[in-house]
Amino acid sequence: MNMDINTLRSVVTVISLLAFVGIVAWAWSRRNRERFDEAARLPFQDE
């Protein structure tokens, strides 16, 4: 397979986009909401 630089750039762009979409989906998933809400309240807790 003979890859030129533009094909490589395209592949890296697609992989980066998929990684970004995966991270966004993980961050907004309902399973993580409770953990993220708890972490968001940490600075306001007095101990």
pTM of the complete model: 0.66
pLDDT score, position 32: 87
Q: How many domains does the chain have?
A: 1
pLDDT score, position 6: 92
Query: Which residues in 1-21 are b (16+ Cβ under 10 Å) and which e?
Result: eeeeeeeeeeeeeeeeeeeee
Q: Which domain holds residue 21?
A: 5-44
Cα 45 to the center of its chain, rounded Å = 28
pLDDT score, position 47: 67
Q: What is the tens place of the pLDDT at every residue in 1-47? A: 677 999 999 999 999 999 999 999 998 988 888 888 999 999 998 76
How many Cα atoms are found within 13 Å in the side-chain-facing hemisphere of 14? Answer: 6
